[in-house]
Amino acid sequence: MYLTLKDHTDRIHALIQQKPAKIYIATYGVYAGILPDGRYTNEWGQKYTNDIGKILEAIPKTTEVQILVGINDYASCNKRNCQSCEINYTKQLIRLINHAEKWPNYQWKYTANMHLKCFIALYGPGEALGITGGRNFTNSTWEDVTLDIQKQEIAQIMQLYVKIWQKALPINDKNIANTLKNQGINPKTLETISNLNT
């Protein structure tokens, strides 16, 4: 059992060091130090280091990686057509694109129908280790717990993972733009964000 972010990330690093052939990650939201404007905080020095970014950097280049990200549907505050809420939601989805572009060798998908969290490493036929629990693939230090999972549990979680993965959408500009449109986000919101970043 792992009760802190450090213990959680140390366990993931231990799984990576054994050089898995494949890694499957599921998380509700993701933050690996990539900002909505594309800057990467791990390039700013130790003070701004993001533990999840360090994990993604540590994965061997020969490892196949799938990252499945759960997102929320857009919900405004009590104001109608709140621009601030639309900007925050849009930035959240833009940041997904920035993560996928930072690590293009990994396969990235997203869905608004998942709250699963896991990190599963496959080393060979019938050989797998993994963790699950409440902690997302972010730098959050909120109180939470991570648990090791055994072979049978991994098999059951992977059945669910594959089912969700097949229905999820690749993280790219086109799909994110369609999601924003389907969620009723004002098309001018992207222009507003662009102006804020200049």
Tell me the helices (H) and strands (E) count for the chain, helix number first: 6, 7
**Contact status, residue 93 vs residue 179, Cβ threshold 8 Å:** yes
pLDDT tens digits, one per residue of 147-197: 999 999 999 999 999 999 999 999 999 999 999 999 988 887 877 776 655
pLDDT, position 175 = 96
**Band of residue 126 on the pLDDT scale cut at 50, 70, 90:** confident
58-108, pLDDT tens digit by residue?
999 999 999 999 999 998 886 677 888 999 999 999 999 999 999 999 999
Q: Which residues pair with 70 in a beta bridge?
A: 28, 111
- Domains of the chain (ranges; CATH) run 5-196 (3.30.870.10)
CA distance 86 to 66: 29
CA–CA dist 31, 142 (Å, integer): 14
143: which 2 tokens? 């109180």
The 10s digit of each residue's pLDDT in 23-32 is 999 999 999 9
Residue 198: pLDDT band by 50, 70, 90 thresholds? very low
Whose structure tokens read 């280790």?
129
**pLDDT at residue 123, as a whole number:** 96
